[in-house]
C-alpha cells in the first residue's frame, strides 16, 4: 500500500533554498524551488541551490511545480531544475511574471506556466481546483512582503496537507489584500492531516507589525533629506517600493529605479497593476543624476551589499554615471541580517559613512523594516485556525524549528506530532499516522559563473588558502636522461611575500629545495612531491605561513 511522503530536500536549516516534495505512489509534486546565498567563506560562489538528485531520479513521477511567492529563496533555482526536468509550473500572476523574467535570463524556453487565482472562494471544503495526479490543490492568499503570495491546501489520498510558507497576519497591508482567513478555514474545515508552515518568526514575541506602519517612518526620514535619497530594499519587495514612491510624491521628488533587477521587477509589477504611480514622477536614472539633488529619490538595488550591485558600485565610486556625495542620504529598508549578507552590508555601510553620507541602517533602530514573517502570536493564530494533527516547521533554522515545536506543544500538540526535519529528512503518512521516513542524501550545490556543482569543499579550501596565504610557483627543470633536477629552480609568488623585499628568504627556499632534490632516479611526480613538502615546511618554519605550493616541471 502506498504512503504519502513529505520530503524537505532543503529549506529547514538556513532560511533559504526552499524546496519541498509531496509524493504518493507514482505521483509527485514540488512546492517552491529557491536559491540560497553564499556564506563569506564561499569565495567566488554566486549562488547556492538545492540538490535536485531525488527529483531528477523520479522525474517520471513529477506532475507539477507550485511556487508560493516571488522571492528568490522560493523561485530562484527553477531555471536550474528545469534544465533537468520538464514539468508545468503553477504560480499567481505576479509570481508567474517574475518566473518568466528569470527563465528569459537563463534562456530556458520550455517552461510551462499556469496562473493560479487565489481569490475565488471554494463552494465547499473539498472544492480543489488544480489536479496533479492524485493531488488536488487550492491556493489561498496570505500576507507577506511581496504581493500575490499564497498558501496551499493539498488534498491527498491520506488527507489534506496545508503548506503555508512565509506569511504573517497583516490586516492593513499595503496592497489592501490581507490573509484570506475565510478561504483557509473553509479548506481546512474537513480536517487537516499536517501543517507545514513558516517557522522564521517563532523566536519573536507578539504579532509582526503591519507593512503599513512604515510609510510614515520612511516619509519622516526622507523629509529631513537635503540632497538626493538612495532607497534600497530587495527588488521583489513591491510593497516597500510603493511606500518609497508615496513618500517621494509627498516630498516633491522624482523617482528613478537603479539596477537591472530593480528596474525589471518594478516594470513587471507596474504593468500588472501591483505598483502604482503616475508617469510624470518617474525619470531615467541618467536623467536623475542631472536633476537638483533635493528633487530625486533613487530606488536602488544592493540592500544586501552584493558585490557588483548598483549600491555596492556607488559606495566604491565605481558606478558608470552615479556618484554619491557628502550629505546624500541612503536608506536601508530590508532584513538586516539574512544568511551570508551581514558582512557585505556592513562593508557598504562603512564605505558610505566614510564619504560623509547620511546612512539610515539597521544599527540605528529606526524601524525602517518590518518582517514579512509571522511572530509567535501569528503562528499561534494559524495553528488555531488550521487545527492540524501534525506540525512541520519550515523556512527557518534549527533554533526556529525548536521554538515552533514549543509553540505547538504549548497549544496541546504531542511532542511526537511535531517533525523537525533536517535537509533530506522525510515524514511518511499512512492511514492517518505519521512517522519519520527514509532520509534522502542531499548536499548544497554551488553555482560559480556558468559552472553548477563543480565547486566543492576541496576547491573552496584551496580558495581560502589562496585568499589568506597566497601561493608560490616552483618552476623546476627536469633532466629526463639523468632522471634528476637540472639547473636552479625559480620561485614566483603572488599574495605571499613581495618578491623584491624577500629575495633572501626565497633564495633560502631555493637552496632547501635543491638540497632535498639531490636524489638519483627521480621521476617528475616525485620531484613535485619533494618541492611541495620541502617548501611548505620551510616557509612555515621561517615565516609561520602556509602558502599553496604549485610545482611546475619543465622537461629538458
- Give 399-444 as a DSSP string: HHHHHHHHHHHHTT--GGGB----TT-EEEEETTEEEE-PPPP--P
Tell me what pLDDT residue 4 has: 98
Tell me what pLDDT residue 448 has: 53
Domain at 4-207+371-452, CATH from 2.40.30.10, 3.40.640.10, 3.30.365.10, 3.60.15.10: 3.60.15.10
User: What percentage of the chain carries pLDDT values higher than 90?
Assistant: 63
Of 9-18, 124-133, 234-243, 417-426, the range with the highest mean pLDDT is 417-426
Could you read off the pLDDT of 258-272 as tens digits, one per residue?
999 999 999 999 999
Is this structure's pTM higher than 0.95?
no
Residues forming beta bridges with residue 115, ordered by sequence position: 91
Domain at 211-364, CATH from 3.40.50.10710, 3.90.1150.10, 2.60.40.10, 3.40.50.300: 3.40.50.10710
Tell me what pLDDT residue 421 has: 98
Residue 433 has pLDDT above 60, yes or no: yes
Residue 449 has pLDDT above 60, yes or no: no
The C-alpha atoms of residue 20 and residue 58 are separated, in whole angstroms, by: 14
Contact assessment for residue 366 and residue 360, using Cβ atoms and an 8 Å cutoff: yes
Tell me what pLDDT residue 45 has: 54
Residue 222 has pLDDT above 90, yes or no: yes
- Alpha carbons within 13 angstroms on the beta-carbon side of residue 553 total 20
Tell me what pLDDT residue 466 has: 61
Q: Lowest mean pLDDT: which of 273-282, 436-445, 519-528?
A: 519-528
Contact assessment for residue 163 and residue 138, using Cβ atoms and an 8 Å cutoff: no
If one compares 371 and 127, the residue with the highest pLDDT of the two is 371
User: What's the average model confidence in pLDDT over 472-477?
Assistant: 88
The C-alpha atoms of residue 390 and residue 388 are separated, in whole angstroms, by: 5
The C-alpha atoms of residue 33 and residue 68 are separated, in whole angstroms, by: 10
- Is the domain 470-555 a CATH 3.10.20.580 member? yes
Q: How confident is the model at residue 464 (pLDDT cuts 50, 70, 90)?
A: low
Q: How confident is the model at residue 454 (pLDDT cuts 50, 70, 90)?
A: very low
If one compares 520 and 481, the residue with the highest pLDDT of the two is 481
Could you read off the pLDDT of 9-59 as tens digits, one per residue?
999 998 889 999 999 999 999 999 999 876 555 444 567 889 999 999 999
The C-alpha atoms of residue 443 and residue 459 are separated, in whole angstroms, by: 15
- Listed by start position, the domains of the chain span 4-207+371-452, 211-364, 470-555
User: What's the average model confidence in pLDDT over 142-161?
Assistant: 95
Three-state SS string over 154-201 comes to: EEECCEEEEEECCCECCCCCCCCCCCCHHHHHHHHCCCEEEEEEECCC
Could you read off the pLDDT of 337-382 as tens digits, one per residue?
565 677 788 889 999 999 999 999 876 656 788 889 999 999 999 9
Q: How confident is the model at residue 548 (pLDDT cuts 50, 70, 90)?
A: confident
Q: Could you tell me which residues are annotated as the binding site for substrate?
A: 369-373
Burial of 206 (C-beta count, 10 Å sphere; 0-12/13-18/19+)? exposed
Catalytic positions, please? 198, 373
Residue 462 has pLDDT above 70, yes or no: no
Q: Could you tell me which residues are annotated as the binding site?
A: 369-373
Burial of 402 (C-beta count, 10 Å sphere; 0-12/13-18/19+)? middle
Amino acid at each position: 500500500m502506498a504512503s504519502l511522503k513529505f520530503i524537505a530536500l532543503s529549506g529547514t536549516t538556513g532560511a533559504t533554498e526552499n524546496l519541498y516534495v509531496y509524493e504518493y505512489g507514482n505521483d509527485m509534486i514540488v512546492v517552491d524551488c529557491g536559491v540560497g546565498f553564499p556564506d563569506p567563506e564561499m569565495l567566488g560562489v554566486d549562488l547556492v541551490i538545492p540538490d535536485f538528485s531525488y527529483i531528477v531520479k523520479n522525474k517520471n513521477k513529477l506532475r507539477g511545480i507550485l511556487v508560493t511567492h516571488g522571492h528568490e529563496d522560493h523561485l530562484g533555482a527553477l531555471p536550474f531544475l528545469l534544465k533537468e526536468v520538464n514539468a508545468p509550473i503553477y504560480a499567481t500572476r505576479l509570481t508567474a511574471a517574475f518566473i518568466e523574467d528569470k527563465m528569459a535570463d537563463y534562456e530556458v524556453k520550455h517552461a510551462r506556466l499556469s496562473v493560479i487565482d487565489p481569490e475565488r472562494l471554494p463552494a465547499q471544503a473539498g472544492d480543489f481546483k488544480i489536479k496533479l495526479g492524485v493531488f488536488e490543490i487550492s491556493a489561498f492568499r496570505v500576507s507577506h512582503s511581496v504581493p500575490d503570495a499564497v498558501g496551499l491546501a493539498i488534498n491527498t489520498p491520506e488527507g489534506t496537507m496545508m503548506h503555508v510558507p512565509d506569511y504573517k497576519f497583516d490586516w492593513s497591508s499595503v496592497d489592501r489584500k490581507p490573509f484570506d482567513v475565510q478561504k483557509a478555514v473553509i479548506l481546512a474545515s474537513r480536517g487537516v492531516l499536517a501543517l507545514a508552515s513558516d517557522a522564521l518568526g517563532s523566536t519573536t514575541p507578539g504579532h509582526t507589525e503591519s507593512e503599513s506602519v512604515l510609510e510614515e517612518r520612511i516619509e519622516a526620514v526622507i523629509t529631513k533629506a537635503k540632497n538626493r535619497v538612495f532607497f534600497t530594499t530587495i527588488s521583489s519587495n513591491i510593497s516597500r517600493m510603493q511606500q518609497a514612491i508615496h513618500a517621494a510624491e509627498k516630498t516633491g521628488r522624482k523617482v528613478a529605479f537603479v539596477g537591472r533587477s530593480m528596474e525589471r521587477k518594478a516594470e513587471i509589477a507596474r504593468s500588472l497593476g501591483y505598483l502604482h504611480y503616475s508617469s510624470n514622477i518617474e525619470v531615467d536614472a541618467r536623467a536623475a543624476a542631472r536633476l537638483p539633488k533635493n528633487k530625486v529619490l533613487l530606488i536602488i538595488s544592493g540592500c544586501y551589499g552584493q558585490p557588483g550591485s548598483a549600491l555596492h558600485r556607488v559606495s566604491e565610486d565605481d558606478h558608470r554615471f552615479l556618484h554619491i556625495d557628502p550629505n546624500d542620504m541612503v536608506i536601508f529598508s530590508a532584513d538586516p541580517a539574512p544568511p551570508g549578507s551581514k558582512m557585505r552590508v556592513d562593508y557598504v555601510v562603512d564605505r558610505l559613512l566614510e564619504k560623509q553620507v547620511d546612512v539610515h541602517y539597521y544599527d540605528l533602530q529606526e524601524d525602517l523594516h518590518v518582517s514579512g514573517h509571522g511572530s509567535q502570536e501569528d503562528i499561534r493564530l494559524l495553528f488555531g485556525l488550521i487545527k492540524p494533527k501534525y506540525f512541520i516547521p519550515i523556512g527557518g533554522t534549527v533554533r526556529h524549528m525548536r521554538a515552533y515545536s514549543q509553540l505547538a506543544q504549548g497549544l496541546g500538540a504531542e511532542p511526537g506530532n511535531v517533525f523537525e526535519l533536517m535537509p533530506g529528512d522525510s515524514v511518511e503518512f499512512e492511514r492517518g499516522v505519521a512517522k519519520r521516513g527514509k532520509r534522502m542524501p542531499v548536499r548544497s550545490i554551488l553555482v560559480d559563473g556558468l559552472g553548477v556543482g563543480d565547486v566543492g569543499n576541496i576547491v573552496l579550501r584551496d580558495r581560502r588558502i589562496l585568499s589568506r596565504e597566497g601561493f608560490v610557483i616552483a618552476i623546476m627543470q627536469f633532466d629526463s636522461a639523468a632522471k634528476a633536477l637540472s639547473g636552479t629552480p625559480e620561485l614566483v609568488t603572488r599574495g605571499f611575500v613581495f618578491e623584491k623585499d624577500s629575495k633572501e628568504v626565497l633564495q633560502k627556499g631555493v637552496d632547501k629545495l635543491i638540497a632535498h632534490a639531490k636524489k638519483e632516479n627521480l621521476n617528475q611526480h616525485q620531484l613535485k612531491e619533494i618541492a611541495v613538502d620541502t617548501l611548505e615546511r620551510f616557509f612555515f618554519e621561517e615565516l609561520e605561513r602556509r602558502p599553496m605550493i604549485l610545482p611546475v616541471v619543465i622537461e629538458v
